[in-house]
Amino acid sequence: MYQLILRGARLGDEVLDVGIEDGRVGSIAARIDERTEREIEAGGRLVSPPFIESHVHLDTTLTAGEPRWNESGTLFEGIQIWSERKKSLTREDVVARATQLLRWQAAQGVLHVRTHADVTDPEFTGLMALLEVKEKVRDWVDVQIVAFPQEGMMSFPKGVELMEEALTLGADVVGGIPHYEHTREMGVLSVKESFRLAEKHDRPIDIHCDETDDPHSRFLEVMAAEAIRSGMGPRVTASHTTAFGSYDNAYAFKLMGFLVKSGINFVANPLINITLQGRYDTYPKRRGITRVKELWQNGLNVSLGYDDIMDPWYPMGTGGMLQPAHMAVHACHMTSRKEVTACFDMVTENAARTLGLKDYGIAEGNPASFVLVDAPDRWDAIRRLAPATLVVKDGEVIAETRPPETRLMGETVDFQREGTEEAG
């Protein structure tokens, strides 16, 4: 007796039934005839493993306009506004906003989230709040917390001690921000410190690296060298690396070889990168995004995150992961059929690798956690920013959304689905 059977869902190139028992995938077959408590007809729509948010700041989210809006749109005005907003930061405030955003994300099928928590705060207000949130939401979303030294690990008083304390308090991942340290040398030291802490505490690494248009910001090479030295590559993530989009090609090609050797992961945040970078250019304006397409072509693991959702750095955002994927298609020139599909994988499977998730994916024996997307395939899901109509976590339906219905000149029309063809 199954608890749920999902009938006729597109999984890879096939349309299959998925049977769920005890919160896990019991079987996947062309037709399952077992008895079941509940049956859901998928109608050939795409079933995907859960969406994954691989880079967000839950301590700053949902504060846009407080105490004022970012008029220049720059990273630096954002930092200034945040320092004003930070004065009224309380644990309750962070808990309420972070929980609200996670609810938005879960409703859209995002069931794994890696958030950064600013730990350049001796009170650890954001970190303590996010540790509380992580426990509170455990049943419906899995949260990883990065100890993130927003104001620098070497430049902020007792920065390294604060990082170490944050790890002891329960932060899951070691962060860093080398390009924001006062000098190049301090930046190099900070990367080495991140690796030292990660090796000592046996934690993964996720560093905000080279988030600038400055082509001389070259901490990515330091990360690659440290990853090769330590052998930690698959547990290491370089977030942003926007300067890589501004490096001259002679250097970029040499660096790519080292990156391949290092085996590290990358997170690009296309919505925020294209918004915050290029602000000091007149024309032509740079896109300010890392070499997503070339990293992917070289076999490196790239995932996509939001970074900011309605905060001093980015006033927009819904938390739905198809938005950054849609922007990546445009900003990274990922428009071929294969490339669009790859952008979908960057907010699902690739992100699972970045986060080091085990048992991820729709396979017999794995937890029955998945999303039914109102599209025939990954390509069309991105094209239409298709809604997640059903979200299942460990066999339980946690969210259902009805797709919009349109009346045109007196007739109900399904224009959203007209002209779609399956890309697989």
Taking CB under 5 A as the binding criterion, the range among 186-194, 195-203, 302-310, 376-384 that sits at the site for Fe ion is 302-310
Residue 208 Cβ vs Fe ion, minimum distance, rounded to whole Å: 5
Taking CB under 5 A as the binding criterion, the range among 196-204, 259-267, 301-309, 386-394 that sits at the site for Fe ion is 301-309
The closest of 51, 21, 49 to 396, measured between CA atoms, is 21
* 53 contacts Fe ion (rule: CB under 5 A): no
Residue 57 Cβ vs Fe ion, minimum distance, rounded to whole Å: 6
Question: Residues 302, 268: contact at Cβ < 8 Å?
Answer: yes
Q: Whats the size of the chain, residue-wise? A: 424
- Residue whose token pair is 């320092």: 83
* 151 contacts Fe ion (rule: CB under 5 A): no
Residue 161 Cβ vs Fe ion, minimum distance, rounded to whole Å: 23
Question: Residues 322, 330: contact at Cβ < 8 Å?
Answer: no
211 is catalytic: yes
Nearer to Fe ion, 6 or 177 (CB): 177
Taking CB under 5 A as the binding criterion, the range among 172-180, 288-296, 306-314, 338-346 that sits at the site for Fe ion is 306-314
How far apart are the two ends of the chain, measured CA to CA in Å?
A: 31
Taking CB under 5 A as the binding criterion, the range among 98-106, 198-206, 281-289, 304-312 that sits at the site for Fe ion is 304-312
Residue 149 Cβ vs Fe ion, minimum distance, rounded to whole Å: 12
Torsion, CA 318, CA 322, CA 326, CA 332, rounded to 10: 110
Is 20 exposed, middle or buried, given 0-12, 13-18 or 19+ CB atoms closer than 10 A?
buried
Question: Residues 424, 12: contact at Cβ < 8 Å?
Answer: yes
Q: Which of 53, 211, 339, 349 is catalytic?
A: 211
CB within 8 Å of 387: residues ≥ 6 apart: 108, 373, 374, 401, 403
From CA 303, how far away is CA 345, in angstroms rounded? 8
Residue 313 Cβ vs Fe ion, minimum distance, rounded to whole Å: 9
* 307 contacts Fe ion (rule: CB under 5 A): yes
- Ranked by CB distance to Fe ion, the top (closest) residue is 307
Q: Please work out the total of residues on this chain that contact Fe ion, with binding judged by CB under 5 A.
A: 1
Nearer to Fe ion, 193 or 307 (CB): 307
* 210 contacts Fe ion (rule: CB under 5 A): no
Positions marked catalytic: 211
Residues lying near Fe ion in the complex (CB under 5 A) are found at: 307
